[in-house]
Structure 1
């Protein structure tokens, strides 16, 4: 029999589900199964579960036809579980690497009904806080099992299901199930602990309890928080039914109920101000209704005062006490903010007069009305007319001619603009004016920090590639690859986004995880790839002719990505040896990442007769001209795959890159074609014919099916209709 069945319900957590599944399946312990329950999720959760099931027979997906909620979805998974133990893990949390052998060893050694494991609260800003385990068990709880009445302090551990591994037969025999509604853990966890004859505690951190910046019910305001009362009522009804056997636990359970109610009410993000008196009155009613005849352990200090006010039903006094506490805390925060502002104010005082004047001009323009017809475009930190913004601009001119498009460019890039494109130069008065007054702001990176999000304006983030390497907040876990990144400022920039364009479901999932904010995802394909999807043979011949490439030549485009953690490093690549393998009809094009553009020289022949095309724009011309793409971790592979031509992953630093920089996708296990881990192997891919062999062809088709299905030539149109014309998605 399988030792552990993981039950993972999933609803609108597509950005986190992969990390959860990887954390389970990647453990150095294999005797497990994963019951993934897609609770009729409207996002890509079902797709992710199916994908993992195809790769790993231990994953068993279940698709529900209608949303039932977290509790009933867990019951569905429990009914399908076959393991000796069941672990209910939420799909936005993840296991600590290497924890599972320790859990398995404790289970097999002590055979508990319930094993409680330790956890940390993992916040979105990469801060983690410990659980109450050290306070509840200041000395190690040891390996011996116990009943709750022997160690009632166990109730002070968090009452969630995901920190408990429960014996399946015990659940079947005693009958605890999850009830519908919010706070479903309450009416499951306490009955489980009360009924268990053998409780074990593993004081090892095994789970990361994700504290989401957006989307969590603890950060959602509404009247559904009143459902907490029904969950606690179920606990007390069950205690009444079980009778004397659990009577001694009633005072401790009562104290936990009042503590929980106070926690819910005290979180200002949950209960709206007008509903707080009603919530408090319900608390008082339950206090009177369920108070044990023998009393209960009232906590000391301020918490005890709150309990006594609940007992007396004194809402006004309770509210005044809460307001006084909040005022005191706000005063402390104000002092901290003033201290933080001293240095920036001093810096601003020494800025040049010109910057000060332009800043004042920008602030004045922000007070003027938005221009309802103005759209501002930018790409790659004002490097010119390129990428998704350029494709959207062209489609908007055709589909929304009432929209006036203006590009922002650096002074040295003005000459690169196509004829007839209106522009302003970055840093000028016109630049600040259009930034302040545009209704639409379109960019494939973030606008500078000084740009303010105005009410009524629409910020469209197009991105500039499907991510292989980790991005955004995920980079916090890879500090060597995120030098000098200010994540707090990054989030302030992300909070300006209204829409986020993605080319596939995978990108949507990763962006939601990397950039947790309130934007709307537009999973429509990449506008810049429209040209590739609609390219004709004549356009391909023209692109080759402009590069001086003959119709019978084999063109290999080598396009490595940037290594932020290794400035100046280039993958080993010898054009001479590559051309020897390709033969007389072979041509090699080399294109550096755009981060290296300050080092570029005018394009032309390089060593070995290779052509340096780093300065050639647009890059889509190079894709159309090339017969083969060689790349490493660049998003170029996703774009080039639209053409359905051979791709080779050349990753000589794969092991180091994935550890230092971090990746979302295992390119060795799921490549778009042939793979080479060193330069001799790369040459052999071409020499042996592996480039076009059946395994490489199958890999490319799988890759295209997964990542390129939306690139049909109409992505830009879909964006324009949704964002500029406000048509339904």
Structure 2
């Protein structure tokens, strides 16, 4: 019995069917069957399914003698299903890489609920993607149970009521006798009853389905009398509620959802055929009167009451007028807001152009990092070095009030978009960033733009993202290259980075192979610094601190660790503590309380370098932090449970699992077993780390910032810069256990 039965109804989708099947068959979780139902498709779909079945024994191709429609084709698939769970996928959509693994893990973690709801993203024909706008409903509120009934979280009914954003336990479906009716809106009488009936529901806050938005040919956007099918489907929903008196509580909410749905179809341009709108309005009024009589009271609020009255009366013209007035008011408000923004932007742009007419300020340097997310990374290390080595240069930092506390005392803060911000961009001699400045910046010939980057590239970047549209997220590559053309210098930490940056960001800048300034602290920090940071984080002496720093997944909206942190912390025991650092795309860090002191969310800590110093080892997946952490010569463990789908979805330059900086685990059990012994810090681990450090850390000797300041800000020639200290001669900050031993010895000597 497989874990999943993936049911795919197929009709006239030959251009998309290969992608759909491939997205399932290449999942890293393989315990499934794929049941594809050829709904008498007149094109090559049947042959494509037969070919797939011949090549992979997990595929079963069923061919129907006549076209029965999407819902009844799914019913055929269900009759042949043998899996624990049913998963429905439309044949022009695709599963995101790693989705089945994520779903299986979530089911296991929530004790196999009857229904698991997950997220989707719209995939447009241009290649752009957009996540479900109500995805926040899938996040479990802090303190709330992971498994619940619909009555506990009724807002889930505000999600798109489709069948393919959920998996269903097969025995639950069979016991309740759920099947799909015929018709265009067949998902409606399935999803509402299933959610209302399920005794256990869970959610997975992860994009698992890419919902294709066709340029032409979408059934629901086709002009047709078939849209009148929606009335029959809501009759079926209310009939189901009538058959189960305990579900009567849902009538008011179902009634309002029905009104929203009917109004949306009526208002959507191009759905209803010419001459049919009056009939649709009449049927809407009849449905309103039929089902409102048993609803618990009228809608609340003035607008819903007016809409309800008009729909009840079938007042077609009045409804159109009200709808037009509302739409007009929204457009006027939007236009007014846009005018205000335009006028303010024009005034500031004029001020910027005026400032450009003034001389460049040779003593001003402007810094920023991570899209204005505070004082961090290479720009922060350089700003400190400029104040120390070139005190005649004034520095200013661009960030928002949220991150103002990260700035050192005396450093001027520039509010993004303010007049002072534009004046600084217009006149500063030096512009330093680890990402890019605004597109409206027009660098003057006298200005010097230093691009520091923010990591050694493992995943595809720049022009290489042209082959990965989901990861590129609509990136305009011509605009990207115009930004690159502003760079005068590109900072590199190793030859791999140099070769990558110069290829994916092609322009005439000068590459500076000086190392990363942010890593200088690893060679300069003392034992006292390490113990001070640990004490500030609340790490008790003698405790082994693991810094868990996973990378970002392009399909995630919020930070969702791939590890069960509570289980891992429990398995490691009281001698360990987990320092959990979310990617900078997720500044809010972990959701949910962790109050036992063994899991510390350090996502908001302003300096990741300090977290590295405080930790005894690094646990990561594919984050570039591993290239920096290697400078400390402390253990590194890679947890690569989704390496294949990650590599396929994003594209990578290196097979990090073939030449890793330390042990590699593929499952959570393997990871726990690794830390139960000494393999994570044994001689083989040290050998891997040394080879990795030699390859990727040739210049990180503690003087990278000094080399950059002397070369770029002070204009010193290359040959006078500090020589690079070979890795064998470096002495990084001592590990925490060494620091504790030194402190103990020092204290004993004073007695």
Is 1:456–2:449 an aligned residue pair? no
Give the Cα separation in 1 of the matches to 2:495 and 2:711: 18
- Asked if 1:361 corresponds to 2:346, the answer is no
Correspondence for 1:439: 429
Q: What is residue 509 of structure 1 aligned with on the other side?
A: 499
Residue pair 1:501, 1:526 contacting (<8 A) in 2 also: yes
Q: 1:372 aligns with which of 354, 362, 380?
A: 362
In the alignment, structure 1 residue 701 sits paired with structure 2 residue 677: no
- 1:409 aligned onto 2:382: no
Once the two structures are TM-superposed, the CA of residue 506 in structure 1 deviates from its matched residue by 1.1
Q: Please name the residue that 1:281 is paired with.
A: none
Where does residue 527 of structure 1 map in the other structure?
Answer: 517
Matches within 5 A, 1:554-573: 554-568=544-558, 570-573=560-563
With over 3 angstroms needed to count, the CA separation of the structure-2 counterparts of 1:608 and 1:403, relative to structure 1, is closer
Match of 1:661 among 650, 660, 669: 650
Deviations 1:505-524 (A, max 9, x none): 11111111110111100011
Give the total of aligned pairs.
384
Distance 1:658 1:571 in 2: 18
Residue number among 399, 416, 424 corresponding to 2:414 in the alignment: 424
Aligned to 2:598: 609
Cα distance in 2, alignment partners of residues 600 and 705 from structure 1: 34
Match for residue 659 of structure 2?
A: 670
- 1:101-180 alignment to 2 at 5 Å? none
| SS of match in other structure, 1:394 | helix
Q: Cα 1:577–1:348, aligned 2, differ >3 Å: closer, same or farther? A: closer
Counterparts in 2 of 1:418 and 1:443: CA distance versus 1, 3 Å: same
The 5 Å alignment of 1:334-345 reads none
Partner residue, 2:464: 474
> Aligned partners of 1:572, 1:367: CA distance in 2, in Å?
53
| Structure 1 equivalent of residue 161 of structure 2 | none
CA distance in 2, matches of 1:664, 1:606: 39
Quote the Cα distance in structure 2 between the aligned partners of 1:612 and 1:530. Answer: 25
1:690 and 2:679 matched? yes
Q: 1:349 deviation in Å?
A: 7.1
Q: Distance in 2 between matches of 1:466 and 1:440?
A: 24
Residues 412-465 of structure 1: per-residue CA shift (max 9 Å, x gap):
222332211122211111000000001110001100101111111100000111
Does the CA contact (< 8 Å) of 1:575 and 1:609 recur in 2?
Answer: no
Question: How far apart, in 2, do the equivalents of 1:632 and 1:610 lie?
Answer: 18
CA contact (8 A) 2:588 2:603 kept: no
Cα–Cα, structure 1 residues 723 and 711, in superposed 2: closer, same or farther, change >3 Å?
same
Question: 2 CA distance for matches of 1:414 and 1:547?
Answer: 21
Residue of structure 1 in register with 2:484 after alignment: 494
Residue 460 of structure 2 aligns to a residue in which SS? coil
> 1:583 offset after TM fit, Å?
2.2
Q: Displacement, 1:579?
A: 2.3
The corresponding residue for 2:703 is 714
- Match of 1:391? 381
What's the Cα RMSD here? 2.2
- Structure 1 SS opposite 2:567: helix
Distance 2:612 2:645 in 1: 28
* Partner of residue 668 from structure 2, selected from 679, 687, 702: 679
> Distance in 1 between the 2:378 and 2:623 partners?
16
Q: Which residue of 2 aligns with 1:352?
A: 342
- Counterpart CA distance in 2 for 1:604 and 1:510 is 41
- Report what 1:48 is aligned to: none
Distance in 1, Cα, partners of 2:597 & 2:613? 23
* The 10-residue stretch of structure 1 (616-625 or 682-691) with the greater mean CA deviation from structure 2: 682-691
1:263-274 aligned within 5 A: none
- Structure 2 SS opposite 1:560: coil
- Is 2:709 the partner of 1:726? no
Deviations for 1:463-520, whole angstroms, at most 9, x for unmatched residues? 1111111100011122222121111111111110000111111111111111011110
Number of the residue aligned with 2:576: 586
CA-CA distance at 1:348 after TM superposition? 8.7
Secondary structure of the residue that 1:596 maps to in structure 2? coil
Counterparts in 2 of 1:286-325, with a 5 A limit? none
Deviation per CA, 1:672-728: give whole Å up to 9, x if none: 101012211111221232202332221111001111121111000000011001111
Following TM superposition, by how much is the alpha carbon of 1:374 offset from its aligned partner in structure 2, in angstroms? 0.9
Structure-2 change in CA distance of 1:613 and 1:598 (3 Å): closer
- Judge conservation of contact 2:559–2:586 (CA < 8 Å) in 1: no
C-alpha displacement of 1:629: 0.5
Aligned equivalent of 1:621? 610
SS across alignment from 1:621: helix
Structure 1 partner of 2:625: 636
Could you say what secondary structure the match of 2:554 adopts?
A: coil
Q: Distance in 2 between matches of 1:600 and 1:582?
A: 20
The answer to whether the 8 Å contact 1:604/1:613 transfers is no
Structure 1's 607 and 480: CA in aligned 2 closer, same or farther, altered over 3 A?
A: farther
Instruction: Give a deviation string over 1:131-181, Cα, whole Å, max 9, x none.
Output: xxxxxxxxxxxxxxxxxxxxxxxxxxxxxxxxxxxxxxxxxxxxxxxxxxx
Q: Distance in 1 between matches of 2:406 and 2:597?
A: 29
Asked if the contact 1:673–1:696 (Cα under 8 Å) also holds between the matched residues in 2, the reply is yes
Asked if the contact 1:604–1:612 (Cα under 8 Å) also holds between the matched residues in 2, the reply is no
Q: How big is the shift at 1:599?
A: 5.9
Contact 1:576 1:608 in 2 (8 A): no
Most deviating of 369-378 and 478-487: 478-487
Q: 2:641 aligns with which of 626, 634, 652?
A: 652
| Alignment partners' CA distance in 2, 1:457 and 1:502 | 21
Runs (5+) with no aligned partner, structure 2: 1-126, 128-335, 719-751
Which residue in the other structure is 1:110 paired with?
Answer: none
CA distance in 1, matches of 2:528, 2:473: 45
Q: TM-score, normalised by structure 1?
A: 0.51
Q: Distance in 1 between matches of 2:545 and 2:463?
A: 38
The equivalent of 1:542 in structure 2 is 532
The CA distance in 2 between the partners of 1:607 and 1:652, in whole Å, is: 27
CA offset at residue 633 of structure 1?
1.2
* Contact residue 411 and residue 426 of structure 1 kept, 8 A: no
TM normalised by structure 2 equals 0.49
Are the counterparts in 1 of residues 559 and 589 from structure 2 also a CA contact under 8 Å?
A: no
Contact 2:514 2:704 (8 Å CA) reproduced: yes
